[in-house]
Amino acid sequence: MPDLIQISDDLTFALSNAHFAYVFRVSQEGVLEHLHYGGPLSDPLGVPRHPRRMNRHVVPTFQGTPYYSLSDTPQEYSSFGTSDYRFPAFHGQNADGNTVFSLLYETHEIVEVKPPLHGLPSSRGDGSQTLIVTLHDRLHGLRVTLSYTVWADYGVLARSATFENLSDHDIDLRHVFSSALDLPADDYEIQHFHGTWSREFNEERIALPQGRFVADSARGTSSSAHNPYVAILQAGATESFGRCYGTTLVYSGNFAISVEKGEFDDVRVLAGLNPFNFNWRLKPGKIFTTPEALHTFSGRGLGALSHHWHDFIRDRVSPERFRHVPRPTYLNTWEAAYFDIDEDKVLSLAETAKQIGVDMVVLDDGWFDGRQDDTSSLGDWGADPVRFPSGIPALAAKVKAKGLKFGIWVEPEMVNPQSQLYAQHPDWILHVPDRVPSLGRNQLTLDLSRADVQDYLFDSLNAILSCGDVDYVKWDMNRTMTEVGSAALPRKRQQETPHRYMLGLYALLDRLVASYPEVLFENCASGGNRFDLGMLSYMPQGWISDMCDPIGRLAIIGGASHLFPLDVMAAYIGPSPNHQNGRVSSVRTRFLAGAFCAARGVSLGQADIAAHQRELSDWMRFAQDTKADMVGGRFDRVKKTENEVAWQYSSRDGQTIYLTYFHSLSGPNMPARRVYYVGLEPTAAYHHADSKVIYRGDALMQSGLPLPRVSAREVASGVQCMPEGDFSAYLFVLRRI
């Protein structure tokens, strides 16, 4: 493995590979000064030192050092109170009652094995080196360890921070960001993704304003309102042009990514735990570790930035057991029956699943004791004795006997007030004294910071999974947190509850995936309300949105693809008219909107399946034939207008190129349009499956391929047309010869 970390005699540190270079140094005062983050350098230790010591009027200098102010000095990990007025990476209260700390360099080391983060998921360190730099405030006995990991083959830098109290007094941690990135003054834009239920991952780009922009969540989940991802872009950046910096977190709870443009136009990006409603009392001798932050850089636009993320997430974050493993196709019972489900209907749907050629039947909500609707029974994870008299293990065995896989839906983190569990353990919910708890979907949140709650949930799920016939688990979470408090914590530590909840959830998932490594877990939280790298560390795929209308899903998948590979996404053909927005669309369009997701399936009633059985069978056959291609490939956003979207997907071996084209609203006399392929071998020949024409790669990339027309009238022979008018879609398949 090449030398990924270099250190000079004057304590300049350079982390670099073929994709980027990241350089900082120790100043003579002991401050970690950031020097460079960007494209790779032939001599990263020789990066220019931009002068920072100057006479700025009415600007305090650091602890009396002439001409040296932290107010515009790029730093690796900033704190408050010693001449830097920007939002700090760390803020706490010391034994004197004030909030001034000065974290100065103490020591460093390089380790070949990436250290795990205590109680938290993190990226795998194969093929990496880690630089550990220790800072120390000797006055108050606080030691902070910064970890930087760089891989030989990936354009991603991982960062985290660990706090250790070496004093005899408590220290309150208030801001404990995982990373700080200070960028030089320039003309930047912010890209972020906002939304709500069924409208997740809406992309917004805005000019970076003076002041602070914050994408965050205080909902107890990473949230659909703001996904934990922000990119800083060179103004005017496109898919193929511009410097781009992406930041995300391996975390599933309350987070904040803050972008601040200071008084001297410098830019600070902070990523980590949300400081709002957070305080962690660090006792003497104890440590606290932040979640992992991930950064990537591209000098060639948003497309290359996404490719860095996709390669890294599938190889170093998503569970290794399922890396490049084709996903089963499936029939889900939800839209087939909703809560009106029983054993006979499941077995009937299993026969239907065989007829349309899918691999698995998934039993969704409604199977457990007393569950007739969403008002009761969450927490009581035993099969309803009337509707499922044989029990779940026996049902799973019957489905497996038909030659199918079996999957099941659960929502372990929740409880209904109308349940045996709540009647027996009302103190097991998140709550605060003397307040009536708010309800979300008629349910309350269990307090997973408690070991007894974790044990109960593990035992409940173990009773189902131990039969050995459950191949897949859809793990749902249908409400955000309110009245966030824990009966298990003392009064002065209540603000630790949200993070302790996440630590408890991760501990539970650790036990489950270790006990059942072959079970395919799918992450869901009312769709994309907790679609993040923390959950994807345990579950190799996620349900990205409850929006099953294909046109509604285009923006969701397109937005999410800036960070997430389609390997980790699931999609199915839902009903039409759509149950979220009432739109009518074809089976073709409904399938093609999720055609490049690794997990594909159907969720329709028996009558709908019968009415479209031949077409559904054809698309499920296509899904079977292509499922090996839909893991590990390359995804590109090749066209996006208000009315059109085109996506390209290239198989991992580069032999098959798929392109889907979506046309929302048709109109008369539309312009003739084309799409330009990307990433092909210029001199290779590609066979067009429909037209039988053979093209060279450079012709497809430079001249482009004509898109089919949308027309309500007859057209001349040989003119390619879309199959429908509004909400139409077309699939191109090229094979390299």
Catalytic residue chosen out of the listed positions 72, 137, 546, 549 = 546
Cα–Cα distances (Å) from 559 to 205, 266, 365, 403, 407, in that order, read 12, 28, 28, 37, 28
3-state class of 423 per DSSP?
A: helix
CB 292 within 8 A of CB 506: no
Phi-psi region of 430 (alpha: psi -120 to 50; beta: other; left: phi over 0): beta
Binding site, by residue number, is: 197, 364-365, 441, 474-478, 524, 546
Which residue in this structure is represented by tokens 């069924």? 198
Reported as half-sphere exposure (CB side, CA atoms, 13 A), residue 473 has a value of 25
3-state class of 729 per DSSP?
A: strand
Binding site for substrate, by residue number, is: 197, 364-365, 441, 474-478, 524, 546
Distance of CA 708 to the CA centre of its chain: 34
Cα–Cα distances (Å) from 163 to 91, 118, 648, in that order, read 12, 12, 45
- Residue 395 structure tokens: 């049902």
Q: Does the bond joining 577 to the residue before it have cis omega, within 30 degrees of 0?
A: yes
DSSP 418: B
CB 15 within 8 A of CB 25: no
CA distance 180 to 209: 19
Helix (H) or strand (E) holding 335: helix 334-337
DSSP 318: S
CB 548 within 8 A of CB 578: yes
Q: 6: Cβ–Cβ under 8 A, 6 or more apart, which residues?
A: 13, 14, 16, 44, 45
CB 182 within 8 A of CB 74: yes
Helix (H) or strand (E) holding 311: helix 301-312
Catalytic residue chosen out of the listed positions 216, 476, 549, 629 = 476
The total number of residues shown for the chain amounts to 737
Crossing angle (nearest 10°) for helices 613-626 and 343-356: 70
Active site (annotated) includes residue 546:
yes
Return the bridge partners of 92, or none.
Answer: 173
**Amino acid, res. 155:** G
**CA-based angle 272:274:276, to the nearest 5?**
155
CA distance 617 to 423: 47
CB 152 within 8 A of CB 128: yes
Q: Is 268 exposed, middle or buried (0-12, 13-18, 19+ CB in 10 A)?
A: buried
Among 545, 561, 565, 542, smallest CA distance to 553 is for 545
Active site (annotated) includes residue 168:
no
Q: 21: Cβ–Cβ under 8 A, 6 or more apart, which residues?
A: 14, 15, 36, 37, 38, 39, 40, 41, 44, 47
Give first-to-last CA distance, the chain, whole Å: 35
CB 361 within 8 A of CB 400: no
Among 643, 646, 654, smallest CA distance to 557 is for 646
CA distance 502 to 41: 39
Cα radius of gyration (the chain): 27
- Pseudo-torsion of CA 627, 632, 638, 644, nearest 10°? 40
> Catalytic residues, which ones?
476, 546
